[in-house]
Chain A
Amino acid sequence: QVQLVQSGSEVRKPGASVKVSCKASGYRFTRFAMNWVRQAPGQGLEWMGCFNPNTGNATYAQGFTGRFVFSLDTSVTTAYLQISSLKAEDTAMYYCARSPSVRYYGMDVWGQGTTVTVS
């Protein structure tokens, strides 16, 4: 079945880096964009951006430029979110979610989420 399985919880100190993975299975990996969504504790959903496997381009929402990097490794059907120079305010649940394209479509399959704690 179609699924996205994310890597486990991470705890980092301020200033460190973290890389979250999102392993896709059950569908043709390169036919869908991969979105990243942040949810701070007790807060709502925030779209961070997405990676378009067809163009190799990443789109970042304001507030997620510079320290945040999306990437894909098509050989292992895995998407990655790397966050550098971590700050306490990066503490959140991070979700990957696929969509048929960067625009117009919703996100139909979601990973289970990865908790990143910066302390």
Chain B
Amino acid sequence: DIQMTQSPSSLSASVGDRVTITCRASQTISNYLNWYQQKPGKAPKFLIDVVSNLQSGVPSRFSGSGSGTDFTLTISSLQPEDFATYYCQQSYSTPSTFGQGTKLEIK
């Protein structure tokens, strides 16, 4: 199985900050990397697929990049509604696997 490792596991930041979350795959996954946002008590929300394709309605302050095994999610200017847990997921092979999550908290 492909292991997905996110860093950091948690992150404190302020409104307006630029933050970057990293996701590393244990083997190449081409560009089949997705990102989700989950708020407490809610289902995950699909943010980005194939590394950098923003889903409809996702603000442009979110962006994704990377290839092969190393990927990043960047939020250019944090807004209050962005404080949540973020997960990466590879859909290159089955079983699909998620990173362990990055909890983004208000500083």
Contacts and interface: CB of A to CB of B under 8 A. Distances in A.
Size category, A interface? 20 to 34
Interface stretch (A8-16, A67-75, A82-90, A102-110): A102-110
B43 A110 contact: yes
A62 B95 contact: yes
Given A47-B97, A47-B98, A106 B91 contact: yes
B1 A106 contact: no
Interface string B57-99: 0000000000000000000000000000001010111111111
A44 interface: yes
A44 B98 contact: yes
Contacts of B101: 44-45
B10 interface: no
Interface of B: 1, 32, 34, 36, 38, 43-46, 49, 55, 87, 89, 91-101
Interface of A: 35, 37, 44-47, 49, 59, 61-62, 95, 97, 99, 102-113
